[in-house]
Structure 1
Amino acid sequence: MPYFETADGTRLHFADWGPADGRTLVFTSGAYFGAEMWEHQMLPLATEGFRCVALERRGHGRSENCWTGYDLDTLAEDLAALLDHLDLTEVTLVGHSVGTAEVVRCLTRYGSDRVAGAVLVAGPVPGIVRSADLPEGMDPAVIEAANATMSADRAKFFHAIRDPFFGVGLPGVEISPEHMEYLIGAALTATPKAVREVSDLLVTLDLTAELPKIDVPVLVVHGTHDVWNPVELTGRRSAELIPDSTLTVYQDAAHGLFATHAARLTDDLRAFAAR
């Protein structure tokens, strides 16, 4: 069965597609999504012979609705526990948005014995909040206000940010209203507690000191029009701090590039995992 139990007794769900002996990619989703967000990457890659495993973090998707464990250390521990549970080796870790922070913390806390490489897609790492070391960062009060608005009415908030999230109107961006509504519906299945806790991670996130410790090749993928995690604050800084990294910037792509630029992302994942 595609479930396992973590050290604190939480039951987590994962999708496991493709042959057991294929080169393995392990996906961790952006905030509020489950495995469904990776449909257009996992299905073609699994069909081609890759093994594609997607963890649904606690409080998300079909994983257990729990009250605790949304700190970054525990979320990274959950990811490491999945690798142990399935006894996976030579894995390519793939994270989107908040999932990239889980990937980074998993590598720096648990090492790379099971990991061959990592892909950071549209992530907030190393951090987006204004500080003495990042004076051009975002005002934390702005992020806190957005989180409060979302908590008050998640459905309204998600619909309000829908178009900029996917980059509707940008050159070359094609996504149907139905597909966007499907993904909003999936995001709304995350529990209110998980939404609040995961959103609050961004207010204090700072992985600047951890990125230089990553000892596997890393592909950083980012869009030019990501208003949540602007590429100059995040993707480009990550690539500069990680010793063995490659930055790939998608012109006219926004935060939801996993859907709007699905085929290109799949191609990049395929090439990186098969290198």
Structure 2
Amino acid sequence: MRTLKTSEAAAILNVSPNTLRAWERRFGYPRPMRSPGKHRLYTHGEVVALRDALNDGLSISSAISRAREAVRADTHVLLGALTAFDLGRADQAMEAALALRPLERAVEEVMLPSLDEIALRNGVDSAPWAWSAAWAAEWVQRARRLTPPPSRAACVLVGDATAGPHDRRALAIRALELFTARAGARVVTLPVGCLAGLGPVLDAHRPDAVVIAGAGSPDDELARWAYAVRASVGALPVLLFHRGVRPGRSASARTLDERASAAVSQIVAAIEPPSGLPEPGMGERSQSVAARPRRMSA
């Protein structure tokens, strides 16, 4: 995916950088990413779509509406491919989506809405949903395999509490795992129903935070798993993702944003060393993280 600095995007649109930033504040478009140095990076496809609309003589508000529709068209293309059960077209639709936006936005703005629409039309107990969900899970797995090695010392343990691969929340959880790995953390996912041999796995990975993801497992099963995790590695920060509101839930467990990209930012904040302290080397358990007061409960 090609990105542009503010000055480059402004030049393509034939406006000043200040005007471009004013459009961003007023209309939320074009919406930039941020570089590691916190500089704006605009997606080339979004800028070009806006330029073409402006060249047709539209006002800025109308041009932005047209550019957004052009970008949103990718969702319709993917939905059509999945409805036709065409793997090749589905892959091509995601490649086109990636040409216009970062991977995280391609998943959240194109893939997940398309899968939601199929679930609404057919139900999650239908063959079209099963087929589409399997394609999406495989696509996310391929993206995960292409993710660079972890750049952070921290490890995130994901307790999969879904009702299985056809659970409607499962794909959002796979997206969370992918985005967390792309943020540089190690990710280990274990079903909350699996207790046998849990200790050696946790001893090998030494997680720094636990994300309980999904609402398909009963509370008693989750409580047993949480107790086993705590017995193996001690008290950890507990974060809930797509768990839903449950009576009697411990106040020590923090609920994450339902958008995977926003949830990852919250996870990184929970595992990041305090500002000003060096991050420990790969494979070392962070003393700064381990020293924090932490509680783990279901």
TM over 0.5: no
Q: Which has the higher contact order (CA 8 A, sep 6+)?
A: 1
Larger CA Rg, structure 1 vs 2 = 2
TM-score, normalization: structure 1? 0.30
